[in-house]
Amino acid sequence: MPTPHPQLNPEQIETLGRELDELRNRTLADVGERDADYIRRMIRAQRGLEIAGRLLLEFGWLPPAWIGGTTALSLSKILDNMEIGHNVMHGQYDWMKDPALDSKRFEWDTACPSDQWRYSHNYMHHTHTNVLGKDRDIGYGILRMSEDEKWTPSDLLNPVKATLLMLLFQYGVALHDVETERIVAGEIGLSDKRDILRATGRKVGRQSVKDYVLFPALAGPGAPFTFAGNATANLTRNIWSFMIIFCGHFPNGTHEFSEDEVENETRGGWYVRQMLGSANLTGGKLFHILSGNLSHQIEHHLFPDIPAHRYAELSVEVREICQRYGLPYNAGPLHKQFGSVVKKIVRLALPFSSDPSKTDEMPATVRNSDGRSAPEHEPVLAGV
């Protein structure tokens, strides 16, 4: 563990939990027309950009149409996945009782079928955030993202694998639930994942036919330009969402946890873990929208089902609470946070820690001979 946990006693953790519960309930009691108007405005913007992008790309042989169309379609896919899809599927708008904004029914413009995403993300990642061995968002099963993960020679490829994951991110997310690393390790067979593979195949098929066959075909001889524009839009979305998502939990200063540490964790303890394990991005209003407000990753992890456009307001109180309890509030601009993620990916390709800033810090956990984490001293979250 690179950074030691701040010391909080169980009573403090419970009081903090109650404060955050109170903030949560106060916000939920206030959701209404303002939030409904906001998400519908986002949807109108996304659908408008999508229609404009698709239309322009039908004339993709004209350079200005190709550039404009590709830009509009990229923005449409980013909005669809980040500010609309991700947030709607968290149940942030379930209270509206609108079937089109229902977390259980919403489907998004990406390769991953939404029901698989809801399981691996809403449940696995948000419940077990940053718990090594449980949160598969730590490296997506292919990257070494923590010193507490045992180094293997294939980790030398960490930067290469990360680059590939970034470029093909929608497929990486789609294969998340297939747990390829467990198939490779022989723990499970392909047949165990037949249903998931079939559903993924169907979704990938429909998405591919739309982007790479039908819309190009409608452009007649301009088909290659439409194809290239659609592919670029998907690629742009992949790179952007990879960057935002990897800045959520891996920049310098975020904590990881061992399974032992979170045993018998209370609601207060869960809140503390979310704050310690997440990092924010600073930027302007448009940046926050295009990041799906995942730039407010800390607030998102505390309140994953509160409409995300409220995170900016909530951050004022959350920051104050962090200060009062002596908890870190990790925030920085994209270039700085992503820079530290890139450094981590490169550093962890090697079996030893090459970051000199880490050596003088007291590790909260040490590695057993089998590479698993075990508490070195009494863990601060014990008994919570």
CB of 259 to other proteins, least distance (A): 16
Find the shortest distance in angstroms from Cβ 107 to other proteins: 4
Which C-beta is closer to other proteins: that of 125 or that of 161? 125
- Tell me which stretch binds other proteins (CB under 8 A): 103-111, 332-340, 355-363, 373-381: 103-111
Q: Which residues, including other chains, have CB under 8 Å from residue 2's CB and lie 6 or more apart?
A: 147, 252, 358, 361, 363
Q: Is 25 in the site for other proteins (CB under 8 A)?
A: yes
Q: Label the pairing between strands 365-367 and 373-375.
A: antiparallel
Examine residue 103 and tell whether it contacts other proteins (CB under 8 A): yes
The reply to whether 210 sits near other proteins by the rule CB under 8 A is yes
Instruction: Select the residue interacting with other proteins from 304, 318, 340, 345 (CB under 8 A).
Output: 304
Name which of 47, 38, 172, 198 is nearest 109 in CA terms: 47
Segment (H or E) for 117: helix 114-117
What's the Cα-to-Cα distance from 196 to each of 41, 81, 170, 190, 240, rounded to whole Å? 33, 20, 16, 10, 26
User: Which residue in the set 11, 18, 22, 104 belongs to the binding site for other proteins (CB under 8 A)?
Assistant: 104
31 by DSSP, 3-state: which?
A: coil
Q: Which range of residues in 88-96, 150-158, 180-188, 278-286 is near other proteins by CB under 8 A?
A: 88-96
**316 residue type, one letter:** V
CB-based contact 135:129 (threshold 8 Å): yes
Cα-based distances in Å from 280 to 5, 244, 309 = 18, 10, 14
Tell me the closest approach of the beta carbon of residue 384 to other proteins, in angstroms.
14
Helices (H), 185-310: 194-208, 215-218, 223-249, 267-277, 285-290, 297-302
Shortest Cβ distance from residue 133 to other proteins (Å)? 17
Options 202-210, 332-340, 350-358, 369-377: segment touching other proteins (CB under 8 A) = 202-210
Convert residues 33-72 into a mask of x (bound to other proteins by CB under 8 A) and - (unbound): xxxxx-----xx--xx--x---------------------
Task: Report the C-alpha dihedral over residues 9, 14, 20, 24, rounded to 10 degrees.
Answer: 160
Residue 85 or residue 172: which is nearer to other proteins going by CB? 85
Q: Of these, 267, 319, 336, 347, which contacts other proteins (CB under 8 A)?
A: 267
The smaller minimum CB distance to other proteins, of residues 32 and 283, is found at: 32
# of chain residues touching other proteins (CB under 8 A): 50
User: Which residues contact residue 44 at a Cβ distance below 8 angstroms, ignoring those fewer than 6 apart?
Assistant: none
| Cβ atoms < 10 Å from Cβ of 68 | 19
* 107 binding other proteins? (CB under 8 A): yes
Which C-beta is closer to other proteins: that of 11 or that of 37? 37
Nearest alpha-carbon partner for 2 in 355, 329, 337:
355
Only one of the segments 3-11, 67-75, 105-113, 158-166 lies at the binding site for other proteins (rule: CB under 8 A); that segment is: 105-113
CB 232 → other proteins: shortest distance, Å? 19
Task: List the one residue from 14, 94, 192, 355 that touches other proteins (CB under 8 A).
Answer: 94
Q: Are 16 and 268 in contact (CB under 8 A)?
A: yes
Q: Among 7, 97, 186, 316, which residue interacts with other proteins (rule: CB under 8 A)?
A: 97
Number of Cα atoms under 13 Å in the Cβ half of residue 249: 24
Tokens of 382: 């014990």
Candidate list 49, 56, 108, 112; residue touching other proteins; CB under 8 A: 108
Give the residues lining the site for other proteins (CB under 8 A).
21, 24-25, 28-29, 31-37, 43-44, 47-48, 51, 90-91, 94-100, 102-104, 107-109, 118-119, 122-124, 126-127, 203, 206-207, 209-210, 214-215, 267, 270, 304-305
